[in-house]
Structure 1
């Protein structure tokens, strides 16, 4: 399997080249095109989550709390090599993280695709997620294989060894050697909110960190304020 990313960073498109009988599992709605010999099948998020009832309950949990789609599509090359192209719903960059046995923690809307050798699950953030103003759930990817991620804007890749402060709306993903805590942007709570930052994430440890150059929530609020009110 080979994944090539074109038109970076503003309008990225990933071309997943599959050998015969290879497959990629992608978020519902990510497909742009595929060759004629690609077989497409819709399935629950993670085929390793047990029976249909178990997958249904876990999928509904992710829909309600994580903002994810319930179904993914699998694309399998039959009778020879083929390819499928994938793109995110928002304008921005894409990157491939080569997962090699470690854990990758992904902000829910940044996951695009991975092969079946990578297991995707949710990781409850508890009150940290609530107070950060972001989703209560991250995705976690474990196993071996390429994980395709997307961002709003450009992606910055940081090999962290120590600490870094990241705005909550700019986090894309980080490897398992990194932990995070939610903190005020400045010493006082009022001054933190007056600064426009509010709460931030202190990322600490050693590993790889991906951040995005634009905040989709702030962008939506800015554009939304410019739109005329909807007719009643």
Structure 2
């Protein structure tokens, strides 16, 4: 599928040049513009099934993962058409090639678009990971199929290629996506709650093995906390 990440923009758009009847699935609300007889349809964000059962699966998936109940399917008409997307936060967009031998776990809000046969499902995490991590609570997003996956980050993206890594630790809020070939452990930095408070780092993600990790330069939670003093406070009355 023909797409272009507009690298000359400070906060880039993605533009697709869709051939006749081509289809791409995008994050709900990500569309900036489209042309021609391109059509957008909201689909329930669940694999397989139909009717009320599919609705319940989509709603349950949204509750445990923080995803939208819907995903947007964009289809070009007989003449083809153009489509532009933008992520919800200012930052960077990066393409990842998904194949049967290379799949990814995605952090919350990382997904932007996918083509081909790429899809994602929810994989259950351990209770410890769910309590500490922000990656979907009890579940984490995992890709499958073949095609191009677009991910979005807050700030810039750095790609780290780990080779037989041992205990490579990244602040959990900076992790965007990582290959499923890596093992990972979410825990508190500094040896526990007191140590974590002392270092100011909080929850971290430690990777082992061989594979790719994408990290973002900015931390959305820290940014939100910086804005709190400037936000209107609710009345105590």
TM-score w.r.t. structure 1 length? Answer: 0.92
> Relative to structure 1, is the Cα distance of residues 6 and 17 closer, same or farther in structure 2, using a 3 angstrom cutoff?
same
Contact between 1:44 and 1:72, CA under 8 Å: does it hold in 2? yes
What is the CA-CA distance between 1:103 and the residue it aligns to? 2.1
Aligned position for 1:158:
160
Residues 100-128 of structure 1: per-residue CA shift (max 9 Å, x gap)? 11321111311011125112211222321
Residues 132-182 of structure 1: per-residue CA shift (max 9 Å, x gap)? 355313211101000010011111111111142111111111111011012
Corresponding position: 1:138 with 2:146: no
Aligned position for 1:97:
96
| SS of alignment partner, residue 108 of structure 1 | coil
Contact between 1:134 and 1:169, CA under 8 Å: does it hold in 2? no
- Cα distance in 2 for residues equivalent to 1:52 and 1:149: 30
Aligned position for 1:219:
223
What is the CA-CA distance between 1:10 and the residue it aligns to? 4.5
TM-score w.r.t. structure 2 length? Answer: 0.90
Residues 76-109 of structure 1: per-residue CA shift (max 9 Å, x gap)? 1111332211111111111110111132111131
Contact between 1:182 and 1:200, CA under 8 Å: does it hold in 2? yes
Counterparts of 1:68-83 in structure 2, within 5 Å, are 68-83=67-82
CA RMSD in angstroms comes to: 1.9
Aligned position for 1:179:
183
| SS of alignment partner, residue 131 of structure 2 | helix
Contact between 1:180 and 1:202, CA under 8 Å: does it hold in 2? yes
Corresponding pairs, count = 231
| SS of alignment partner, residue 214 of structure 1 | coil
Structure 1 runs (4+) deviating above 6 angstroms are none
What is the CA-CA distance between 1:75 and the residue it aligns to? 0.9
| Unpaired runs of at least 5, structure 1 | none
- 1:168 pairs with 158, 169, 172, which one? 172
